[in-house]
Each structure stands twice: as structure tokens, then as C-alpha cells.
Amino acid sequence: MSDALVQISNAVIEGRVKDIPSLTNTALSSGLTAKDILDKGLMPGMDVIGAEFKKGKKFVPEVLLSARTMQASLDILKPLLAQAGEKMAGKVIIGTVKGDLHDIGKSLVGMMLEGAGFEVVNLGKDVPPEKFVDAVKKEKPDIVAMSALLTTTMRSMGHTVTALKEAGLRESVKIMIGGAPVTVDFAKQIGADAYAANAPAAAELAKKLINSN
Amino acid sequence: MPLYILACRVLQSMMEPYLREANIPATFMEYGFHRTPQLMTPALQEELDRITESSVFIIGYGLCGNGLAGLKAGRHTLIVPRADDCITLLLGSYQSYITEFTAEPGTYYLTKGWLESGSHPLKEYRELLEKYDKETADWIMDEQYRNYKRVVLVASNQEELDAYRHKAREVADFCAERWGYRYEELVGSDEFVKKLVTVAFQLTESTDDFLVIPPGGEVKQEMYWR
């Protein structure tokens, strides 16, 4: 792999926000495409930090800084990705469910989805089922993605699935869920389509869900 | 059957008066598993498996972001509070927790245990400043804490509130200045913890407040749903 991409991966892993704009620009001027930088530099870096977090070797501050680093690079790459005429992978509305104010993981998933080429509509935190329903009517997304960090609030994901069913919208979208206490069994139980264990996995999952249509 | 207590350090001060009376051997684990629930189950499992004689273990933990899910009773019987996290135990009942949660989901709780041996935003900020420049430390703090609306000091009685007000105010003032949190105090109750330590070990099946995990059983998230 090119040295520039390794350096970009390392900057993401170490959360070196200040270094990333020049590394990104250097990589671009060396002839690498925006998509190369994204897929072979930024994403692998996020995979590493995600795995370290899971093992308890890295904590939220480090993950935040890695995400901030990736975002700074994405800001440079986005116009180029658009220019390259990459077709949008699909549209996702994303939010942290009612009663839950934890938005770090949700925002991280949003960023990874954007990186994977999705158009992301972020509904924010503490989002009640009816707001998800309204957003589905208005935005006509392919996917609804929900996050919860508390075992007390994750049940609100089930309420949202029910609300979408009652509004006759359930069949028009795929529903994916995630968040620290959420499990694949829980996803099955509430009638969601899929569960992702972390942000990079969520982006992969979203692509699979679109392709299964 | 021998009786043991395996609990989080944040509950130690609330449990100790009852432990002294009952003379039950207790192990208090470091509070840090709150941030790494995935490391909690193996650490607790090791403690359980170390005792070779069939025993009753009183578990002083909430479900803690699924940190307790997957804990296997093995040859023992586990008595587990049916609480999502330790705040329920500190407030004294599930109902009190739900009342507070509904009133203000964006609540950051401080307790004697958390102030003494746990972490809190001010302590975390000081640690971040040792590692990062100010702009970075400020940014990390804002990302994590900007959504909360209030700090609540929970104590099991008025004396404890008075004793920890100074420390709690220091944290609350910091949070008020940065994010506009309001500060409140709440006298919780040691009712839940008292029942857990003094009577729950006699249970033979699960109740509204306690799970009884028989030998061979396992703690599962569904057991907490109400």
C-alpha cells in the first residue's frame, strides 16, 4: 500500500487532526483519488480504532479524536467525490431514540455512512417515534437507522418500528439498529431488519441492505 | 450454603454497614467497568469461578449497559438486583429511577462512591488536560457532556448530602459554567441495597426487584425488561 495511505491511516488511529489536511492534500497531489484515500486510508484507520475500543484498549476520547480526524479529511474529499460522479449509495435517516441523549455513536455512524456514499439525514437525539415517522414520509429514505445507549431507552426502538408499521411505512424502508446495549436478538425481537455492532460495520450493513432490495 | 458478595466499588459505602452486621465476605471491583462493559463479564466471571464450593453470590451491579449479560452462575446461585444501572440502587427503587429519568433524561448523577472512587466531568477534564492541549480537551468534553441538563447529588441521607455537597458543587459549578447545567440534590434510599444484602439471598425465584439465577443459569438482558 502507498506510504501516503499508511500515513493517513495512522493519523486517523492516533487522532492527529492537525496533520490530516496536509496528508490528504499530499495524497491527492500524488495522484491518489478521493475514493482511494477514503477506502484505503481513512476507513482502515477507523476499523483499527473501532477494534481497539471494543477490546477496551481505547476510550471514547480517542475514538472522538479519530472521528474528528476522519471528518477533517472527508471535508476535503467530499466535493471531489461528488465531482467524480459517484452515485449516491442511498438515503438514510438516523437518530438516537426517545429519552436518550447519547449522540456520539450515532454521529460516528452518520459519518461512516456518508463516507460510504450515503446521503444522511440526521434527526439528532431524543427522537420520538412520531418524528421518525414524519421524517420517513418527508425524506423517503431507503434506510432508518436508530441508536440507543441505555437499556432503559432501547425499547423505544421497538415503539418506532411499531409506529412505522401503523403508518403503513414499514415496508418502504429497511430498519437497522445499534448502540452499546443492543444485540442481534433484540433486533429480531422488535422486527428490525438488522443490527450492527459498530460504526464501520454499520456502513457495510447499510450497503448490504440496499443491495438486497 | 456459603454466602458471598461481589459488587462494584460505588456501592461499597452503602453496603458496608449491613455487611459488618452480617459478616459476609465481600469483594468490591474497580468502578472503571462502567466505561468498558465488555470487560466486566470476564472479570466478574473469574471471581465467581474462583470459588469451588457451591455458594450463593449476591451481585452488587445493575445490568450496566449489558456488562452483566452473559455472566454464568456455574455451580453457584446468583442473586442480582433487577436494575438497569447503579442509579436505581442508589435511589432505592426502580420507580424512583423512572420518575427521575422521566423528569429529566439529561441527568448526570454524582454519589459518594462516584465522587470518592469513580470519575466525573471535572476529574476527566483535568486528566484530558494532562494529555492534550486545551482546545482538544475542551472539544472532547463538549462532545461528551453538552447534552446533559442537570447534575444531581444523590445521597442515602441528609448527613451524607451535607458531607459531599462541597465536592459535588465543585463539579456542578464546572458543568454549569461550561454547559449551563443546573444543580440539584436528592436524598435517595438504601432500601434496595439493604434488601439485597439482608434478605434477597433467601429467595428461590425471581421477583420484581431481584433475579435469582440458579446453578447452570446465565444473566440475560431480557430478564430486566418490564
Q: Tally A–B CB contacts below 8 A.
A: 58
Residue in this structure with the C-alpha cell 454524582, named with its chain if needed = B110
What are the angstrom distances between the C-alpha of B86 and each of A97, B3, B89, B94?
22, 22, 5, 10
Q: What are the pLDDT digits (tens) for B61-115?
A: 999 888 899 999 999 999 999 999 888 998 999 999 999 999 999 999 998 878 8
CA distance A171 to B164: 54
Count CA atoms closer than 13 A to B114's CA, side-chain side: 21
DSSP state of B10: G
User: What is the reported pLDDT for B116?
Assistant: 82
Q: How far is CA A5 from CA A25, A40, A117, B25, B122, in A?
A: 12, 7, 20, 55, 38
Most A-contacting residue of B39, B94, B147 (CB-CB within 10 A), to test interface: B147
pLDDT above 70: residue B40: yes
B13's CB contacts (< 8 A; 6+ apart) are: B112, B113, B116
pLDDT of residue B226: 80
Are B30 and B118 in contact by the 8 Å Cβ rule? The answer is no
Q: Alpha carbon of B95 to those of B43, B71, B83, B103, B226: distances in Å?
A: 30, 26, 10, 12, 12
Question: Residue B83: what are its φ and ψ, rounded to 5°?
Answer: -135, 135
Report the length, in residues, of chain B: 226
Residue B106 contacts A, CB cutoff 8 Å: yes
What averages of pLDDT result for each successive group of 10 residues across chain A (213 residues)?
92 97 97 94 94 88 96 94 79 97 94 92 97 98 96 93 98 96 93 94 94 77
Residue A84 has what pLDDT?
77
| Cβ contacts of B221 on chain A, cutoff 8 Å | 151, 181, 183, 186
Which helix or strand (DSSP H or E) is residue B17 part of?
helix B12-22
- Residue A92: beta bridge partners? A120, A143
Nearest CA in chain B to A66: B140
Distance separating alpha carbons of residues A143 and A151, to the nearest angstrom: 23
CB-closest option in A54, A56, A151 to B63: A151
The interface pTM score, or ipTM, of the predicted complex is 0.89
Which of B38, B144, B147 has its CB closest to that of A60?
B144
pLDDT at A86: 67
C-alpha cell at B72: 454464568
Q: How far apart are CA B90 and CA B68, in angstroms?
A: 18
Q: Which residues contact A90 (CB under 8 A, 6 or more apart)?
A: A118, A119, A141, A142, A143, A206, A210
**What's residue A81's pLDDT?**
86
CB distance from B70 to chain A under 8 Å? no
Residues A13 and A69: their CA atoms lie apart, in Å, by 9
Closest C-alpha to B110, from B92, B93, B122: B122
Residue B121 and residue B168 in contact, taking contact as beta carbons nearer than 8 Å: no
A159 and chain B in contact, CB less than 8 A: no
Give the pLDDT of residue A46: 94
> If you measure CA to CA, which chain A residue comes closest to B222?
A186
Pick from B211, B203, B154, B224: which is nearest to B14 by CA? B154
Rounded Cα distance between B211 and A42, Å, is 45
Residue A75, CA distances (Å) to A81, A199, B138 in order: 10, 19, 22
Q: Are strands B210-213 and B77-81 parallel, antiparallel or unpaired?
A: antiparallel
Confidence of residue B193 (pLDDT cuts 50, 70, 90): very high
Q: State the pLDDT at residue B23.
A: 86
pLDDT of residue A121: 97
Q: Do A65 and B136 touch (CB under 8 A)?
A: yes
Q: Which of B186, B181, B183, B182 is nearest to B161 (CA)?
A: B186
Is the Cα dihedral B201, B204, B206, B209 positive or negative?
A: negative
Q: Is B129 on the interface with A (CB under 8 A)?
A: no
Domains of chain A: 3-83 (1.10.1240.10), 90-211 (3.40.50.280)
State residue B112's pLDDT score. 85
Which residue on chain A is closest to B125 by alpha carbon? Answer: A61
Question: What's the whole-number average pLDDT of chain B?
Answer: 92
Q: What's the average model confidence in pLDDT over B162-171? A: 96
CA distance A43 to A108: 12
B104-to-A43, A48, A101, B167, B187 alpha-carbon distances in Å: 37, 36, 11, 22, 17
CA–CA separation, B211 and B221 (whole Å):
11
Q: What is the pLDDT of residue A1?
A: 63
Determine the average pLDDT of the residues in B27-52: 88
